[in-house]
Structure 1
Amino acid sequence: MTGSGTLLSCRNARLDSFLKRNTERAVYERIRACEPCVVVTETVNKVYMHVVVSDEWVYLTEYPPRTLTAVVNFGRVRNIGLVNDLPEFLSLKDRERCQHIRIIYVTEKPAGKGCVWSRKGKVEEGLPVALSSRRASHCPMPTNTSEGYPAESQWMEQLQPVLKSTRSTSCPNPQTLGLPHPPSQPSSFYSTSSTSPPFLSDESLMTTDTGQVTRSIGSVLSDLLRRDDANSMEEKEAELHLYTVSQKSRLYLHLQSMWNSFIIRSTLMLDPVYRKMYTTCDPLAKGISMERTAHLFGQLSSELLQDGISVELLYLLLQELRTAAHRNLTLRRLFWKCSELCVFLVQTLENCLFGCQSLHGVYTADQLLLSTLIVQTLAIMFRETEVEAARIHLLSAENGALASRMLLALICDPQCETNSRRSLVGSELQVLLAEYLDAACSLLFELLLLGQEVNSDRRQTNRCFSTDSILSVGWTFKVLQPHPDLLSFISYQASQVVLVLSSNQKSFLSPPQSVLLFKRCRLLLACLQQDTQLAEHLRFNFRQDFRYLVKPSYATGKLSPKYPISQPTLQLVACILTLIDKSSVICESQNTGDQL
């Protein structure tokens, strides 16, 4: 969101106005991105629409917007990948720059219901939240014209029962209008365009031999998505195909990022302690305005940045900041606009960990406690702020100076000697050090995700990332290479993965433990794929451990099937086991790479 309250990644004023007028505030503020593209499903054939992405749903709306339909929930997504093809229905120019995104998901059962909002009517109940597989005999498609698309009259005939003249869009009824949105307790876990099609002209939309891509005249989507196979009681896999033709399209990255955030957050929300911390005193639930949130954040920032602040007060204020950031997305966005606070946290982290060098490499409890709190706070600030321009600007400024400092500051030596390892004090310090290393893994995970977004190739055919682009994955490892503790830090993370996955005890990991395992696996996979030195180090020191101790059956027994993050983690483990036995550094599996 920008300061004026409009969508940062949606420059279409008409669409933004439509979303702002006709959705509740809590729904509107969860929208992350929107972008025009051509949509293909089992029931929608090459329709030019807008894709609207929130932190939980993928919506579709006509061009221009008339209805907004919840199509896919990220909880049902199984894979989001890019297809390397040249769509024949596009002109040669658009075909070459097209980005074909394929979303594979599990359809809702017939009993499940979603809703759609129409400009000329109220919420339409009974629409499936996800696109379902339909039997042609049950719900036949309209008869096609000679060009291969449904005749306009037939589309309009089907459209008529959907629209109901009840209330104008200028004065929506809050009781009947809006999108599917989470109740007080969250459901499962609780880019650009212009006013006219900027990328697809009428000429460019002509196919070589079949005609023109259909643009819906009315609420075609809302009618087509109503079709549900009442006879089918089994969940089925379905596909949603999105074709963007912008060379600057970031839709794929937004989808991947939102899916990644969803499975992490929805898994954590299964933990009672996390859920209580996340949902209590939500500013949006209390109706606190963005202005009021900004005022409170400004007060807290001023207290943190005051001269001569004591360590005790600093710790208490950081706890308050971390807790508030957990519950309030607006605060996380404001954080990245306050460069002084981010710089202060990085500077404090440097002083905490680098200060131990003067004490012959011995960490103190105060250093570890404060460092852990800082790193946890920074990691939280990355969550769901992917579309915040201030974040990328701050971290990339001066050739990534602040990001470099953050990377180098968070790496520490896991083998650093404590005062006395055999004493009670020494044992407590080891626990504190382990907690810091867990937090450091989470922050490094966020920085690697940022690097993947920054330098991801548009067609995603090459999984290698250049070391030249600031904040890219390659750049991140290049910055870390000189750090004397990098190899021991990565070794510790790998040993923790082996420790968890080599145990055959029949007990599931807790939701936070499962999320941490997922992050560690992502970190190890990035090392194996993107850095030759780290890949060789892992193979030399951990090949036998992963080959003989890490059993897929053990991994399955550790991850509850109820956790959304379990299946992606198992896929990561499988890829790590494959790569750690290979001499090649690059994972050639496009499907696995897209899913990760």
Structure 2
Amino acid sequence: MARISSGTLLSRRNAKLDSFLKRNTERAVYERIRAYEPCVVVSESVHKVYMHVVLSDECVYLTEYPPRTLTAAVFFGRVRDIELVNDLPDFLSSKDRERCQHMRIIYVAEKPAGKGRDRLRRNEGEGLPPAALASRRASHCPEITHTLQGYPAESQWMKEELPPVLKSTRSASCPNRESLGLQERVPHPPSQPPSFYSSSTPPSSPPLSEESLKTLESSQVTQRIGSVLSRLLRRDGVNIVAEKEAELHLYAVSEASRLYLHLQSSWNSFIIKSTLMLDPLYRRRCTASADPLAPTISVERTAHLFGQLSSELLQDGISTESLYLLLQELRTAAHRYIPLRRLFWRSSEVCAFLVQTLEDCLQGLSGVYTADQLLLSTLIVQTLAIMFRETEVEAARMSLLSAKKGALASRMLLALICDPQPHSRGALVQSELQALLTEYLDAACALLFELLLLGHETSRCFSADNFLSVGWTLRVLQPHPHLLSFIGYQAQRVVLVLSDLQESLLSPAQSVVLFQRCRLLLACLQYNNQLAQHLRSHFREEFRYSVKPCVEEKLPPRYPISRPTLRLIEQIQTRILLR
């Protein structure tokens, strides 16, 4: 939940609202609420109303001030863009006008059920990830349907499954579903032509003529063809009906508001997770397979299991094989249990141990790596990256990383960078090592992406020169002997996947890595002159001529991450081509 600590980025806790949310949502949903803030709300149906904005990892909710009802306003699966508007709202007083933060959420509005579209609407959830399917079923009360993705584990964690997260009874404070202009999706049965063999045909009906039978058969065939074409068009990402965009405007009357940061972070997290869930292998790995009626794992039980795992990790003389197996268990459990990620940041010993192990694996080896070192380093970096997901409001995370002027964060950053061109040892061995190194460099980019997201939050909350900001992060990395080759490798990978050399569509996982790499390159171009100059001098021609003009062909429209990635590519090209 959103709690405050001196010097953190978190929202101030409101005891009355907190109690209301706890009473009206299931515990698993309540625990996934990231922040809330009072704002003036403007939409198509809400006109300058002072309300609480409640943010979870899937949805933006609105509730009155003081809270009486809870309404789903925007699901992240429908969001097109979230931006900070630089204006002075004329409906605010002069004092409030100057300190106001105006946030605009552009999203695809729900379409009302229409005649002739029932067959499309009945199947419109096909091919979508479970998180997106949840949005199709959302109501406008606290009982909004959510899903929590489970992750299988080869350990005791597997035995603890999450049940349905929402209360089965409707809250007494369920709002009028028209109160915020949100339309309820009422399913309509597809219209079926009367069947000659149907038992519902009245006995007194006259027999159908041969001409009528031919007409009926033609109608049925046409309907089947239309259904097949609809599915084919949807599968290829073709929009049959033009989508209507809507806007939700939030005015936070506070210079200290963190809502925009939480919105951006939640949206980034959502599009990454939703895109990865489109991969059948990833989805199969991440979907809980045990009995859904098993009891919910308690916070106490989670803490107990994490304590056991931590003590085993930190024991003296642990073998590399045992360490690897324990880290696999930790990574799997962290994927599945958000409370465990919070416990990780409250236990400084485990984080410091992982950073120390990463330093021992990769540093001081002059580019000579072994398979064991690369495998273990990749697992450590992947585990650390997962721990950053959806823990922005965990005060212990900021406290740990900012302690002693960012000492642990500095070590993590410097341990992360490695030489992307290891020394040759022979064709076969080199090929195997290069594959492992490529996997590590993908994981390193993902963790650096998380640290840069933290830096963006810090830059907005404090001075741009403050530690943990984006500028500070890049300055910490600047003395590293392999930084330029590391950033150059990330740029080469972006050019490669967007050039004619790779003609196939990107997989969901490849699209996520591309998005993360683009965020990294854009940060280098924006916040560090040396890195910006290096990218311009070495990759200007590649981005001018090798990156295809129609990069949309590489990123399927059905990927939630495609549109934000295309915007990043456009920004990178604009900046890198500057003289």
Q: TM-score, normalised by structure 2?
A: 0.78
Match of 1:349 among 342, 345, 358: 358
Give the paired residue count: 480
> How far has the Cα of 1:561 moved from its partner?
1.1
Match of 1:430 among 420, 434, 437: 434
- 1:546 aligned partner, one-letter code: F
Measured against aligned partners, the alpha-carbon deviations of 1:18-37 in whole angstroms (never above 9, x if no partner) come to 11111112221221111111
Task: List aligned pairs for 1:289-328, cutoff 5 A.
Answer: 289-328=298-337
Secondary structure at the aligned position of 2:365 is classed as helix
In structure 2, do the counterparts of structure 1 residues 254 and 130 end up closer, same or farther at CA, with 3 Å as the change threshold? farther
The aligned residue for residue 337 of structure 1 is 346
In structure 2, do the counterparts of structure 1 residues 221 and 398 end up closer, same or farther at CA, with 3 Å as the change threshold? farther
The aligned residue for residue 76 of structure 1 is 78
Match of 1:455 among 452, 459, 463: 459
Instruction: State the distance in 2 between where 1:229 and 1:484 align.
Output: 57
> How far has the Cα of 1:130 moved from its partner?
10
Measured against aligned partners, the alpha-carbon deviations of 1:390-429 in whole angstroms (never above 9, x if no partner) come to 1111000000000000000000011121422x2x111101
Task: List aligned pairs for 1:473-552, cutoff 5 A.
Answer: 473-503=470-500, 506-552=503-549
> How far has the Cα of 1:84 moved from its partner?
1.1
Instruction: State the distance in 2 between where 1:392 and 1:300 align.
Output: 23
- 1:514 aligned partner, one-letter code: S
Instruction: State the distance in 2 between where 1:104 and 1:78 align.
Output: 5
Secondary structure at the aligned position of 1:456 is classed as helix
Secondary structure at the aligned position of 2:179 is classed as helix
Contact 2:11/2:258 (8 A) holds in 1: no
In structure 2, do the counterparts of structure 1 residues 283 and 495 end up closer, same or farther at CA, with 3 Å as the change threshold? farther
Contact 2:2/2:11 (8 A) holds in 1: no
In structure 2, do the counterparts of structure 1 residues 10 and 54 end up closer, same or farther at CA, with 3 Å as the change threshold? farther
The aligned residue for residue 414 of structure 2 is 408
Contact 1:363/1:418 (8 A) holds in 2: no
1:378 maps onto 2:384 in alignment: yes
Instruction: State the distance in 2 between where 1:91 and 1:106 align.
Output: 32
Identical-residue share of aligned pairs (%): 70
In structure 2, do the counterparts of structure 1 residues 556 and 473 end up closer, same or farther at CA, with 3 Å as the change threshold? same
The aligned residue for residue 444 of structure 2 is 440
Instruction: State the distance in 1 between where 2:521 and 2:270 align.
Output: 21
Task: List aligned pairs for 1:95-494, cutoff 5 A.
Answer: 95-111=97-113, 178-183=142-147, 222-226=178-182, 234-280=242-288, 286-357=295-366, 361-420=367-426, 422=427, 424-456=428-460, 466=464, 468-494=465-491
Contact 2:346/2:396 (8 A) holds in 1: yes
Instruction: State the distance in 1 between where 2:546 and 2:241 align.
Output: 41
**Which aligned runs of 4 or more in structure 1 are off by greater than 4 angstroms?**
126-131, 183-186, 217-222, 226-230, 281-286
Task: List aligned pairs for 1:28-47, cutoff 5 A.
Answer: 28-47=30-49
- 1:509 aligned partner, one-letter code: L
In structure 2, do the counterparts of structure 1 residues 127 and 87 end up closer, same or farther at CA, with 3 Å as the change threshold? farther
In structure 2, do the counterparts of structure 1 residues 517 and 227 end up closer, same or farther at CA, with 3 Å as the change threshold? closer
Contact 2:417/2:444 (8 A) holds in 1: yes
Secondary structure at the aligned position of 1:90 is classed as coil
Instruction: State the distance in 1 between where 2:476 and 2:398 align.
Output: 17
Secondary structure at the aligned position of 1:70 is classed as strand
- 1:317 aligned partner, one-letter code: L
Instruction: State the distance in 1 between where 2:185 and 2:508 align.
Output: 35
C-alpha RMSD over aligned residues: 2.9
- 1:438 aligned partner, one-letter code: D
Instruction: State the distance in 2 between where 1:403 and 1:229 align.
Output: 47
> How far has the Cα of 1:548 moved from its partner?
0.7
Measured against aligned partners, the alpha-carbon deviations of 1:71-129 in whole angstroms (never above 9, x if no partner) come to 1011111111111111122122111111111111110111389xxxxxxxxxxxx9996
Gaps of 5+ in 1: 114-125, 132-176, 191-216, 459-464, 584-596
- 1:530 aligned partner, one-letter code: Y
The aligned residue for residue 165 of structure 2 is none
Instruction: State the distance in 1 between where 2:91 and 2:70 align.
Output: 26
In structure 2, do the counterparts of structure 1 residues 315 and 520 end up closer, same or farther at CA, with 3 Å as the change threshold? same
Instruction: State the distance in 2 between where 1:106 and 1:439 align.
Output: 32
> How far has the Cα of 1:435 moved from its partner?
0.8
> How far has the Cα of 1:235 moved from its partner?
2.8
The aligned residue for residue 578 of structure 2 is 582
- 1:452 aligned partner, one-letter code: H
Q: Which one has the bigger helix percentage?
A: 2
Gaps of 5+ in 2: 4-9, 114-120, 123-134, 151-161, 163-172, 187-239
> How far has the Cα of 1:10 moved from its partner?
5.4
> How far has the Cα of 1:571 moved from its partner?
1.0
Instruction: State the distance in 1 between where 2:139 and 2:526 align.
Output: 34
> How far has the Cα of 1:256 moved from its partner?
0.5
Secondary structure at the aligned position of 1:238 is classed as strand
Contact 2:2/2:35 (8 A) holds in 1: no
Instruction: State the distance in 2 between where 1:385 and 1:407 align.
Output: 19
In structure 2, do the counterparts of structure 1 residues 128 and 516 end up closer, same or farther at CA, with 3 Å as the change threshold? closer
Q: TM-score, normalised by structure 1?
A: 0.76
Instruction: State the distance in 1 between where 2:291 and 2:354 align.
Output: 24
